[in-house]
Structure 1
Amino acid sequence: MIDRALVERVDLLCLDAGNTVVFLDHARIARFLESRGVEVELSELVKAEGSAKRGLAGDGSGEVVAFEWAHQGEPGGAEWGKVMGTILALGGRIPRVRVPELLAALWAEHLRFNLYSRVPEGLPAAVSRLRAAGVKVAIISNSEGRLAALFEELGILACFDRVVDSGVVGVAKPDPRIFTFATEAFGISPDRALHLGDTFATDVAGARAAGIRTALLDPFLHYPGLYPDVPRVDSVEQVADAIVDLR
């Protein structure tokens, strides 16, 4: 059950991309590693991803394993490298000396076709209903500058009124300025917006700094018992339908 206060008076729904609209393909990472002689369990990759996300918050609840690697200076590369490097080092149990090389190869695979590419079946229809009810929907994502192209390839670009990609606009969450690319474009005040995302350090911290309501999607239970003051929601679809019901 969603708290009514979270979804009432929402004229703009902001959405993170990864693990909110497009989900990480852990099986593809496993296949990538297996092709390079590394056998992994999917559950271990998921667990390590959670450690990285918690570690980014800097509160001691998780661990980020940082590496120097070839493309960390490219748009989106620094944060991506922290998450994926941790997944490889902890989830893949890979000797750390091998991780920079594997990160570079995985980055090339990611640029070829984004590792975050699984779209929930009911999401496009739910977003369509929300927009038909007069609510603007924007993506606010830390990405590599290719997010709009990915969404077009996946057939979901037209689902959104605006795609704000940090690799394009030059500002990344948790910097609150990235949210203004949506609020100011639509002339909507922050108190009439809601942001959903899966990472406390970027999504929740950034939205709060921008004066925007926020809720955490935690599909893999990466935040057990943490941040009890942050509302949890199950999916974009659940929230979209709850907003429509109040229109």
Structure 2
Amino acid sequence: MDGTLVLGDAASGGHMALPGAAALLVALKRRGIPFRVFTNGTAKPPAAYAASLRAAGLDVTDAELMTPASSAAAWFLARGIRRVRVLGREGVQQPLREAGLDVVQPGAKAEGVEAVFTGWYREFTFPDLEAACRDIWAGALATTASNVPFFAAQGGRAIGASFAINAMIRSLTGKRAKVLGKPSRAALRCALTLMGLPMAAEKALVVIGDDPALEMRMANAAGALSIGVTSGLNDAGTFTALTPADAAHVVLPGLPPLLELLSRCS
């Protein structure tokens, strides 16, 4: 989403569509090609992000937008985890509650917490840190929506809240948070499921993004086609100076060349 289809502000407010974004989504829908707009942000629930994209002129339904909280909910349920302390507000919590999980508030006293899940949470406090660490010391899993320090925003890069929170928790517990958003395989497989595709379709996917450590790494690990765009955080030189795990199969200056290629296909 950010740096590929749109640019948002650092506080995760409104969005501005990037060139070719609206036309590309229209072209995909006309051809019946399923897609998911996958943001690693959790400042808002998926439906709120979708509404923001529609306000920016993009034809995106609520169901076509997913966040790491979407894939986290599926991951927790698959492992029988039901009680999760969430370090985050509604954007992080809502998809978990809708999946039937017992969501424990950031600093609330609670027993039997099975996992701690960190997301966008700029209201983070010391009591929140203490509660999360106590859960992990008692055996709860450390998990996170994202663990990248920056994301693309209007005016440059913005700091990822969960990265900073994860660093504090790890320094005290020694536990590295398991990433359940991009670039995890769990996130990619959740996208497949939401598109109604079988797991065997991984290698037929095209993953487009601006961050080699997220979209390219996720695509390459699954054998999918990775397309890097330089409309976000990174320039072409960055994409070409990477290890095979993070290098894009194709690097484009933005979406218009992809749209032109798609228009040539019958």
Q: TM-score, normalised on structure 2?
A: 0.48
Alignment of 1:1-247 (within 5 A): 17-25=1-9, 109-110=11-12, 113-114=13-14, 117-120=15-18, 122-144=20-42, 145-155=44-54, 158-159=59-60, 162-170=64-72, 171-184=180-193, 185-187=195-197, 189-219=201-231, 222-228=234-240, 230=248, 231-247=250-266
* Stretches (4+) displaced over 6 A: none
The alignment-based identity, stated in percent, is: 17
Alpha-carbon offset, residue 130 of structure 1: 2.1
In structure 2, how many angstroms separate the alpha carbons of the residues matched to 1:158 and 1:219? 20
Alpha-carbon offset, residue 192 of structure 1: 1.8
Q: Which has the higher contact order (CA 8 A, sep 6+)?
A: 1
CA RMSD across the alignment: 2.6
In structure 2, how many angstroms separate the alpha carbons of the residues matched to 1:237 and 1:121? 7
Q: Which moved more, 1:202-211 or 1:182-191?
A: 182-191
- Can you give the 5+ residue segments of structure 2 that lack an aligned partner in the other structure? 73-179, 241-246
SS at match of 2:2: coil
Alpha-carbon offset, residue 158 of structure 1: 4.1
In structure 1, how many angstroms separate the alpha carbons of the residues matched to 2:19 and 2:235? 25
Letter in 1 for 2:4: T
Specify the alignment match of 2:80 in structure 1. none
More strand by share: 2
1:122 and 1:152, CA in 2 relative to 1: closer, same or farther beyond 3 A?
same
More helix by share: 1
Listed one character per residue, the Cα deviations across residues 144-166 of structure 1 (whole Å, up to 9, x for unaligned) are 04343132134257435622211
Contact 1:198–1:217, Cα closer than 8 Å, also in 2: yes
In structure 2, how many angstroms separate the alpha carbons of the residues matched to 1:204 and 1:158? 25
Alpha-carbon offset, residue 118 of structure 1: 1.2
In structure 2, how many angstroms separate the alpha carbons of the residues matched to 1:176 and 1:134? 25
